């Protein structure tokens, strides 16, 4: 289960067939994609968290020894998934999201990460060739 302990390293070294198997395992209904907004939040992220919990390992960022991704994000994956589902799937603006056990500060943290990474959902220009 090395993909649970170091998913980035495993993914980068995996064959296409292995990557497809992992995607089917973690996202059985696929990863939502919209041409206008880009990739959506998958509802199956809990499957990854369950596998990580079963392996009794924290997912660690390879650049920050001893620090988990959740610590770096400042919010748990479970809360992150709930906030992103409200925002991306239901279309609720961040300032109107109201979830029990999730503070406004945590919602603002998610908003900052989304805004900081918004460039990743913009497709690069495509060269148009004339025949």
State how far Cα 96 lies from the chain centre: 22
H-helix or E-strand spanning residue 33 = strand 33-34
Give the pLDDT confidence of 42-88 residue by residue, as tens digits: 655 555 555 555 555 444 444 445 556 677 778 888 888 888 888 88
pLDDT band of residue 124 (cuts 50, 70, 90) is: confident
- Looking at residue 100, the DSSP 8-state letter turns out to be T
Per-residue model confidence as pLDDT tens digits over 8-31: 777 778 888 877 777 776 666 777
Parse the chain into domains and list their residue ranges: 2-121
CB 129 within 8 A of CB 102: no
pLDDT value for 106: 93
Answer whether 62's CB lies under 8 Å from 6's CB. yes
Query: In terms of pTM, does the model score above 0.75?
Result: no
Q: Which residues pair with 33 in a beta bridge?
A: 39
Two structure tokens written together for 106: 């945590």
**Token pair listed for 31:** 């990863």
- What's the gap between Cα 127 and its chain centre? 29
**Picking from 39-43, 45-49, 120-124, which range would have the lowest pLDDT averaged per residue?**
45-49
Report the pLDDT averaged over residues 91-119: 90
């Amino acid at each position: 289960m090395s993909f649970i302990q170091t998913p980035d390293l495993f993914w980068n070294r995996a064959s296409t067939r292995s990557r497809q198997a992992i995607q089917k395992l973690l996202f059985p209904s696929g990863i939502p994609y919209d041409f206008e907004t880009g990739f959506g939040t998958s509802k199956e992220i809990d499957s990854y968290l369950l596998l990580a919990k079963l392996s009794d390992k924290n997912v660690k960022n390879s650049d920050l020894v001893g620090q988990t991704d959740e610590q770096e994000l400042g919010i748990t994956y479970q809360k992150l998934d709930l906030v992103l589902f409200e925002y991306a799937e239901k279309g609720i603006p961040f300032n109107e999201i109201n979830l029990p056990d999730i503070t406004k500060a945590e919602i603002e943290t998610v908003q900052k990460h989304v805004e900081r990474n918004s460039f990743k959902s913009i497709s690069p220009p495509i060269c148009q060739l004339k025949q």
